[in-house]
Amino acid sequence: MLGESTGADLVIVNTCTVTGEAEKKTRKAVRRALREHPRASVVVTGCAAAIDAEAFRALDGRVVVAGKRELAEATRQADRLMELIPPLRSSFRAMPPRVDGRGEDPISVLRVGRGFPTRVGIKVQDGCDNACTYCIVHVARGRAWSRPADEVVEEYRRYTEAGVREIVLSGINIGTYREEGLDLADLLERLLGASSEARIRISSIEPRDVSERLIDLMARSDGRIARHLHLPLQAGSSRVLREMARPYSAERYVDLVDRLYAAMPSLSLSTDIIVGFPGESDDDFAETLAMARRCRFSKIHVFPYSKREGTPAAIRSDQVPPNVKALRAAALSELGDRLRNAAYEVRRGSVECVLVETNGKGMTESYFEIDVAAELSPGELVELRLP
Ligand code: SF4
């Protein structure tokens, strides 16, 4: 909603608290919104706002802190939006009533067309019932809950009808999807049956939630469920995993990876690893390096451990010195680059389904970005030989 000459009437900032750095950037974004839009109400939502609402309210009287669900509901109904943000009453003309006689539509806006990415995310789940000792996200997001399968399937169908050819299922812990007796594999089966036009990608899944049925379904889907999984490892030492309260050991993780590769030899596996968790020794870190090589990761997101206030790991006295963390992060990143190159080399010359993106780029099923011919249209899914 744009005002006459002084910018927007409403700015929404979605905040993040996954690392200290992310939280800092979030506060900066709120301050910038206040500065650049002197008349706007600035709605702050997301994880950092859930953890410390007062810190955001204290920035300015124009800041409104709202939960994500509350905000999503308010943006569908003008009255509720104005209840949440009273100053909008003066600049907001009443929305005309829907003419099709339908009630509130939970999927009212499709994010397709100019300005939107070719790959679309559909949120299927939120929240987490785990309590990893370094993590504040499960506190910010609360208990796990799942969207009704009918709603997800309908949104998926509408996107495929609108021409979207890759859908990413997202959530905080999507492996825990449970709704009316359906789990993630059931939901995927329903999506596969709803339209054969799009490829489905599972964004990230906790190792303990990868069931045999899910592996089997992925293997049988012939690429309709991308043979790419992001499987957070976090540490390669069982002792460190225990202290992180991760619900698996290094041995179980390796066993899962072996079963995945056996079912899908072309599978691409990416992961997150934290280095320098409190008490992590040189030997623990050596186990992480060995594990990374063993699992042949195609991409490693390396996170030097950063304290999150309010978590058990933050108050441990055996914090790893910053210089040691930096050295370990550099060593793991260097290994990650080598493994990524090796993972691409084994694919070079093979044929994969590639989603054409903008600027002559495309995303392979195995999640490598490659150059594609300029005449291909963004959004198309085409079989290409990897250069
Ligand atoms: S699985 Fe662990 S790291 Fe992930 S959101 Fe839940 S508590 Fe946080």
Of 154, 187, 221, the domain-final residue: 221
CA 379 to chain centre: 20
Q: Quick one: 336 and 232 in the same domain?
A: yes
Say what the pLDDT of residue 371 is.
Answer: 96
Say what the pLDDT of residue 115 is.
Answer: 65
Q: Quick one: 369 and 337 in the same domain?
A: no
CA of 139 to the centre of ligand 1 (A): 9
Split at pLDDT 50, 70, 90, the class of 108 is low
Classify residue 360 as left (phi > 0), alpha (psi -120 to 50) or beta: left
Q: Is residue 24 part of a domain?
A: yes
Q: What is the mean pLDDT of residues 147-153?
A: 95
Is residue 373 lining ligand 1, measured as CB closer than 6 Å?
Answer: no
Amino acid at 257: V
Q: Quick one: 234 and 319 in the same domain?
A: yes
Split at pLDDT 50, 70, 90, the class of 105 is low
Q: Is residue 110 part of a domain?
A: no
Pocket of ligand 1, candidates 51, 129, 172, 301: which has the most ligand atoms within 8 Å of its Cβ, to mutate?
172
Classify residue 354 as left (phi > 0), alpha (psi -120 to 50) or beta: beta
Distances (CA, A) of 333 to 212, 302, 314, 330: 31, 6, 24, 5
CA of 136 to the centre of ligand 1 (A): 8
CA of 99 to the centre of ligand 1 (A): 43
Greatest pairwise CA separation for the chain in angstroms: 66
CA of 232 to the centre of ligand 1 (A): 10
Distances (CA, A) of 209 to 108, 196, 218, 253: 31, 25, 14, 11
Q: What is the mean pLDDT of residues 225-239?
A: 98
Structural domain of 302: 227-347
Amino acid at 205: I
Q: Quick one: 76 and 164 in the same domain?
A: no
Angle between the N-to-C axes of helices 282-295 and 250-263, in degrees from 0 to 180, rounded to the nearest 10: 10
Is residue 284 lining ligand 1, measured as CB closer than 6 Å?
Answer: no
Cα atoms found within 13 Å of the Cα of residue 81, Cβ hemisphere only? 21
pLDDT surpassing 80 at residue 80: no
354 contacts 383 by C-beta, under 8 angstroms: yes
Q: Quick one: 251 and 331 in the same domain?
A: yes
Among 38-42, 201-205, 207-211, 343-347, the minimum mean pLDDT is found in 38-42
For residue 200 the two structure tokens come to 């489905």
In three-state form (DSSP H/G/I as H, E/B as E, the rest C), the secondary structure along the chain is: CECCCCCECEEEEEECCCCHHHHHHHHHHHHHHHHHCCCCEEEEEEHHHHHCHHHHHCCCCCEEECCHHHHHHHCCCHHHHHHHCHHHHHCCCCCCCCCCCCCCCCCCCCCCCCCCCCEEEEECEECCCCCCCCCCHHHHHCCCEECCHHHHHHHHHHHHHCCCCEEEEECCCHHHCCECCECHHHHHHHHHHHCCCCEEEECCCCHHHCCHHHHHHHHHCCCCECCEEECCCECCCHHHHHHCCCCCCHHHHHHHHHHHHHHCCCCEEEEEEEECCCCCCHHHHHHHHHHHHHHCCCEEEEEECCCCCCCHHHHCCCCCCHHHHHHHHHHHHHHHHHHHHHHHHHHCCCEEEEEECCCCEEEECCCCEEECCCCCCCCCEEEEECC
Q: Quick one: 258 and 316 in the same domain?
A: yes
Pocket of ligand 1, candidates 16, 129, 132: which has the most ligand atoms within 8 Å of its Cβ, to mutate?
132
Is residue 126 lining ligand 1, measured as CB closer than 6 Å?
Answer: no
Question: In whole angstroms, what is the distance from residue 89 CA to residue 108 CA?
Answer: 22
172 CA closest ligand 1 atom index: 5
271 or 162, which is more confident: 271
CA of 73 to the centre of ligand 1 (A): 26
Q: Is residue 381 part of a domain?
A: yes
246 CA closest ligand 1 atom index: 2
Amino acid at 118: T
CATH at residue 194:
3.30.750.210
Of 189, 221, 253, the domain-final residue: 221
**What's the chain's average pLDDT?**
89
CA of 144 to the centre of ligand 1 (A): 11
Q: Quick one: 343 and 353 in the same domain?
A: no
Pocket of ligand 1, candidates 51, 130, 230: which has the most ligand atoms within 8 Å of its Cβ, to mutate?
130
Q: Is residue 177 part of a domain?
A: yes
Q: Quick one: 150 and 56 in the same domain?
A: no
Number of compact structural domains in the chain: 4
Q: Is residue 81 part of a domain?
A: yes
Q: Quick one: 241 and 296 in the same domain?
A: yes
Q: Quick one: 238 and 342 in the same domain?
A: yes
pLDDT surpassing 60 at residue 163: yes
Q: Is residue 107 part of a domain?
A: no
CA of 366 to the centre of ligand 1 (A): 25
pLDDT surpassing 50 at residue 298: yes
Q: Quick one: 176 and 248 in the same domain?
A: no
CA of 137 to the centre of ligand 1 (A): 7
Q: Is residue 52 part of a domain?
A: yes
134 CA closest ligand 1 atom index: 3
Is residue 136 lining ligand 1, measured as CB closer than 6 Å?
Answer: no
Q: Is residue 106 part of a domain?
A: no
152 contacts 124 by C-beta, under 8 angstroms: yes
Is residue 128 lining ligand 1, measured as CB closer than 6 Å?
Answer: yes
> To the nearest whole percent, how much of the chain has pLDDT over 70?
90
Q: Quick one: 265 and 294 in the same domain?
A: yes
Of 56, 90, 124, the domain-final residue: 90
CA of 184 to the centre of ligand 1 (A): 18
Split at pLDDT 50, 70, 90, the class of 276 is very high
Question: In whole angstroms, what is the distance from residue 95 CA to residue 337 CA?
Answer: 52
